[in-house]
């Protein structure tokens, strides 16, 4: 069965006066390899809605003005992909300039078979310039290398991407400005998905941006967040094995959080600035690497659920920094803390029964190291503690039971 392709171009060139506002464009096509282009230039309160069913359709939307809305829905609901096509393969782009605009893209495969593993890669992108804009992308039940991206410039914007039941998907959000928020969720994923968020705040005195990434299944997934400016928040949650999470922050009063609940996952966090905080929780065979440069920073690592063979490296450069490591469950854990500054504090707890090891190196004055091994009683053996302090007025307290 071959469906004739359709090419449709819609152009609504509008004046900027209020009399030309509230224009609407609605299209609904059925068939393969269709192309739709819609443009509204000027005016406020305009809307464009495009629906394309079946396979390999393309669309492009452009709007200039405020309080405009654009939506694209590309889907395939056939039950038998081997008769009717590839169950996906759509491509669409929405571009908006102005304030308080909304853009949404939905690419979906429904029916008895959730997507064909061959040639079902859908692409979706949203570009918005202005304040208080919102962009949303959803890609569902398409199994092969889908791509979703949102770019927003200015302040008070919101971006979210959901990729459900994908394999090798890639999602990316880029925001420039402040008071922006970004969220990526890759749910019921198969393998090898990638998610990245980049936020740049050029104003050091204005509260920053919020970013979160959730990858709740699969293995071999990768997540990264990069933020610059003041008062940013970043969090990554991964539930699949062999996952990798990375957070990089530059500025003051930022916070970073990583939670990895499956084995053999890796985490890395780098912060440059003052009064920043890090929180990490991991399962077995993890080796987070954390670097902080600045003063008044805090690191908290909490591995209490009998996690084994974890290796944790912490480096802090500055004044009044604090490192808290809790390895109160499991065996063969290792903690390394390096602090270069004055009034730093290192607190390490290990509660396993075999071959735990701790290394603390503090350079500066008035530093404090507190170490407790085998907190559950006199069951530990082959435990090792190495503490090196260089400076004046330093204190080290070591307890081995």
DSSP assignment letter at 243: -
pLDDT of residue 156: 92
Beta pairing partners, 362: 339, 389
Q: Name the pLDDT band for 378 (thresholds 50, 70, 90).
A: low
d(CA 25, CA 44): 14
Q: Does pLDDT of 51 surpass 80?
A: yes
Residue 303: predicted pLDDT: 66
**Where does the pLDDT of residue 398 fall: very low under 50, low under 70, confident under 90, or very high at 90 and above?**
confident
Q: What is the pLDDT of residues 81-136, one digit of tens each?
A: 444 444 457 899 999 999 999 999 999 876 544 444 445 678 999 999 999 999 99
Lowest mean pLDDT among 27-41, 50-64, 89-103, 110-124: 110-124
Tell me: pLDDT of 55 over 80: no
Output the pTM of the full model. 0.88
Predicted pLDDT of residue 305 = 52
Interval 364-385 mean pLDDT: 69
pLDDT attached to residue 176? 93
Mean pLDDT over all residues of the chain? 82
- Residue scoring higher pLDDT (297 or 352): 297
What is the rounded distance in angstroms from the CA atom of residue 129 to the CA atom of residue 131? 7
For residue 259, the cross-strand partners are 237, 281
- CA 288 – CA 245 distance, rounded (Å): 9
| CA 128 – CA 206 distance, rounded (Å) | 22
Does residue 332 have a pLDDT over 70? yes
- 199 SS3 class: strand
127, 96 contact by CB (below 8 A): yes
Per-residue buried b or exposed e for 20-52, using 16+ beta carbons within 10 Å of the residue's own CB: bbebebebebebbbbbbbbbbbbbbebbbbbbb
pLDDT in tens, 147-204: 999 999 999 999 999 998 878 899 999 999 989 999 999 987 667 899 999 999 887 6
pLDDT: is 50 or 5 the higher one? 50
More confident residue, 273 or 217: 273
Q: Residue 367 in contact with residue 343, Cβ under 8 Å?
A: yes
For the chain, which residues make up each domain, given as ranges? Answer: 289-401
Mean pLDDT to the nearest integer, 214-228: 91
Give the confidence band of 9 by pLDDT, cuts at 50, 70, 90.
low
CB 126 within 8 A of CB 105: yes
Give percent of the chain above pLDDT 70.
81
Q: How confident is the model at residue 379 (pLDDT cuts 50, 70, 90)?
A: low
Inter-CA distances, 342 with 253, 273, 301, 361, Å: 20, 16, 22, 13
């Amino acid at each position: 069965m071959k469906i004739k392709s359709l090419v449709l171009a819609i152009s609504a060139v509008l004046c900027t006066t209020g009399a030309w506002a509230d224009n609407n464009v609605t299209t609904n096509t059925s068939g393969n390899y269709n192309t739709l282009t819609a443009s509204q230039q000027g005016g406020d309160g305009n809307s464009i809605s495009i629906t394309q069913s079946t396979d390999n359709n393309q669309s492009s939307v452009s709007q200039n003005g405020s309080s405009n809305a654009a939506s694209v829905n590309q889907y395939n609901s056939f039950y038998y992909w081997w008769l009717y096509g590839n169950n996906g393969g759509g491509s669409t782009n929405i571009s908006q300039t102005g304030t308080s605009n909304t853009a949404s893209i939905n690419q979906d495969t429904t029916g008895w078979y959730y997507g064909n593993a061959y040639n079902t890669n859908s692409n979706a992108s949203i570009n918005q310039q202005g304040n208080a804009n919102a962009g949303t992308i959803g890609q569902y039940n398409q199994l092969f290398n889908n791509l979703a991206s949102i770019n927003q410039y200015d302040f008070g914007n919101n971006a979210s991407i959901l990729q459900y039941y994908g394999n090798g998907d890639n999602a990316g959000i880029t925001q420039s400005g402040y008071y922006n928020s970004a969220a990526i969720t890759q749910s019921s994923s198969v393998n090898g998905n990638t998610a990245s968020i980049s936020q740049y705040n050029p104003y050091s005195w204005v509260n920053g941006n919020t970013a979160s990434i959730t990858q709740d299944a699969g293995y071999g997934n990768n997540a990264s967040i990069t933020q610059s400016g003041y008062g940013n928040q970043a969090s990554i949650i991964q539930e699949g094995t062999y996952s990798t999470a990375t957070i990089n922050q530059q500025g003051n009063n930022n916070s970073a959080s990583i939670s990895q609940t499956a084995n053999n996952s890796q985490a890395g966090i780098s912060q440059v600035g003052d009064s920043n905080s890090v929180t990490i929780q991991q399962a077995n065979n993890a080796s987070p690497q954390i670097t902080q440069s600045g003063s008044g920073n805090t690191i908290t690592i909490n591995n209490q659920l009998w996690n084994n063979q974890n290796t944790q490296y912490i480096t802090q450069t500055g004044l009044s920094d604090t490192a808290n490591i809790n390895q109160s469950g499991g065996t063969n854990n290792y903690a390394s803390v390096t602090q270069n500054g004055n009034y730093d504090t290192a607190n390490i707890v290990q509660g396993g029964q075999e071959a735990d090891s701790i290394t603390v190196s503090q350079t500066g004055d008035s530093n404090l190291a507190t170490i407790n091994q085998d907190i559950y009683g006199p069951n530990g053996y082959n435990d090792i503690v190495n503490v090196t302090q260089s400076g004046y007025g330093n204190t080290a307290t070591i307890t081995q039971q």
